[in-house]
């Protein structure tokens, strides 16, 4: 294979990866210029899950509200974790579904004991716990938004059926 052919295949492969990861996507339209700057900022702001950073606090809230807990184990250096934040947790349908749960985010570098206690061996790992702290289910690795919503709904159903 010639250098030129190899370079062509590498370029095609890089473009395919770039497209598959969504790096080539663009906004279809710019901000509405008829809105004020503050209104534009609000209109363009992505929805967010309001994560807590303490599992004990999350479990306390869960026991008081009878909601399951979603625990997202991540690390700042984890590319798949950042993709999950950007592509899954920022979707409006995922955010709305999360309102029925108590969301907790755990940095495994800061709290390795909690990760070890729950057997976290891959990042990202998402645990769904009932309000008593018992595991309902887990997801290791990337999961599409629809799958995450399904797991969230299953956790809510499992928690509701326990009472």
Contact 91, 47 (CB under 8 A): yes
Choose the catalytic residue: 55, 78, 101, 106. 78
Calpha distance 67→61 (Å, rounded) = 8
The residues pairing with 61 across neighbouring beta strands, listed in sequence order, are: none
Q: How far apart are CA 157 and CA 143, in angstroms?
A: 20
Please indicate whether residue 23 is annotated as part of the active site: no
H or E stretch covering 69: strand 69-74
What's the CA gap between 30 and 33, in Å, rounded? 8
Q: Which residues 6+ apart lie within 8 Å of 146 measured at CB? A: none
Please pick, among 62, 69, 71, 81, the residue that the annotation labels catalytic.
81
Active site residue ranges:
78, 81
């Amino acid at each position: 294979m010639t250098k030129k052919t190899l370079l062509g295949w590498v370029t095609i492969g890089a473009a395919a990866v770039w497209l598959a990861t969504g790096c080539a996507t663009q906004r279809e339209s710019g901000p509405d210029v008829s809105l004020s700057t503050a209104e534009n900022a609000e209109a363009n702001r992505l929805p967010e899950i309001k994560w807590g950073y303490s599992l004990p606090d999350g479990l306390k809230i869960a026991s008081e509200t009878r909601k399951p807990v979603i625990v997202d184990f991540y690390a700042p250096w984890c590319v798949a974790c950042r993709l999950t934040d950007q592509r899954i947790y920022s979707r409006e349908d995922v955010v709305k579904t999360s309102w029925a749960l108590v969301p907790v985010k755990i940095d495994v570098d800061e709290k390795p004991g909690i990760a070890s206690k729950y057997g976290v061996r891959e990042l990202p790992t998402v645990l769904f716990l009932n309000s008593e702290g018992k595991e309902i289910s887990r997801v290791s690795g990337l999961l599409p938004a629809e799958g995450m919503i399904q797991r969230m709904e299953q956790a809510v159903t499992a928690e509701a059926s326990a009472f």
